Amino acid sequence: MTGQQRRVVVLGGTGFLGGHLRAAFRAEGDHVVCVSRTSADVDAPDERFVALDLLAANPRELRSLFTDTDPGIVVNAAGAVWKVTENQMIAANAELVTALIVALREMPHRPRLIQLGSVHEYGVGTRDSGLAEDGAEAPVTPYGRSKLVASRSVLDAAAAGALDGVVLRMANIVGPGVPTGSLLGDTAAHLEAYAEDPGATDAELVFPPLRAERDFVDVRDVVDAVLAAARAPRAEVSGRVINVGSGRAVRAGEVVERLLALSGLPVRLVERPADGAGAAAVDCQKLDVSRARRLLGWEPRRDLDAALSGLLSGLSLA
């Protein structure tokens, strides 16, 4: 694909990460097909929009999607994590991927499927070492379990020679447009509300104790990793899991406090435990990204402040 325009299908292309990926692939000179049930303003000559509810699509519609668009790369940025039931997560994160694999394996030439996974597929880690791709997978949330089912489907199909597929396991992504329902998305929404009307919005942002230590990665670094996975030789990445994160864990409360400080607004974090709640064991997740360095030539280049400043750049705080 070097030296010629690729056709890239981004599933869930109007979502948080999908929107960033569409812009990045266009900047690479690729022709992008944005697939979403939500309409998108597509005015670039090298982009096309396909309206399709992927969860409601039958096998014939999925086959037609890929036959008509004839992609070299398919990035699955679709899925569900916030404000949905466990059954909805299973449908959006696991069953959809099974249907995609069936449709892709029937194509005369098989495009690369880049499945965007999650650090939550691993479960709880420790401060001592990063979570590595060959380590144990013991997700503790419905979201993590549904994403792990999807990852294993991709890996099994690739191992059987039926798919050119790679799983990128993402840390917690930070950047403009991060969705509400997430910790930083809700914090960002509170900041926007306060900036618009300080008199009607509390200057205290109240959460339960934010003791969990998490790996936070800049969305621009995530995009760079996806582009690298799209370029990598099949023999290097197909059938592999590759972690994408900062490689360090930060207490969630510290991240929120830093975001508030960078905003310049007089909003402060209050961590208020529920009555009778005791101290919990530290829940720590950080990714070992050495495989990404080795196989993709990728490593995180932005620090936490850069990621949080990027998130703030997408808000209306004036």
In a structure prediction context, what are the per-residue pLDDT tens digits for the chain, which is 318 residues long?
Answer: 445 789 999 999 999 999 999 999 999 999 999 999 987 777 678 899 999 999 999 999 999 999 999 999 999 999 988 888 999 999 999 999 999 999 999 998 899 999 999 999 999 888 888 999 999 999 999 999 999 999 999 999 999 999 999 999 999 999 999 999 999 999 999 999 999 999 999 999 999 999 999 999 999 999 999 999 999 999 999 999 999 999 999 999 999 999 999 999 999 999 998 766 555 556 899 999 999 999 999 999 999 999 999 999 999 996
Q: pLDDT for 269-289, tens place per residue?
A: 999 987 665 555 568 999 999
Share of the chain above pLDDT 90, in %: 87
pLDDT score at 128: 83
Please confirm, yes or no, whether 194 is among the known catalytic residues.
no
Domain boundaries, the chain: 7-175+216-247+287-301
pLDDT in tens, 73-132: 999 999 988 888 999 999 999 999 999 999 999 998 899 999 999 999 999 888 888 999
How far, in Å, CA of 33 to CA of 318, rounded?
A: 35
Which pLDDT score, from 0 to 100, does residue 3 have?
A: 52
Q: Does domain 7-175+216-247+287-301 have CATH number 3.40.718.10?
A: no
Q: Residue 144: in which H helix or E strand, if any?
A: helix 142-159
pLDDT value, residue 277: 58
Count CB neighbours of 212 within 10 A.
17
pLDDT value of position 1: 44
Catalytic residue among 66, 143, 194, 216: 143
Backbone angles phi, psi at 221, to 5 degrees: -70, -40
For helices 59-69 and 96-105, give the axis angle rounded to 10 degrees. Answer: 50
* Cα maximum dimension of the chain: 63
Q: What does the alpha-carbon distance between residue 50 and residue 48 come to, in Å, rounded to a whole number? A: 7
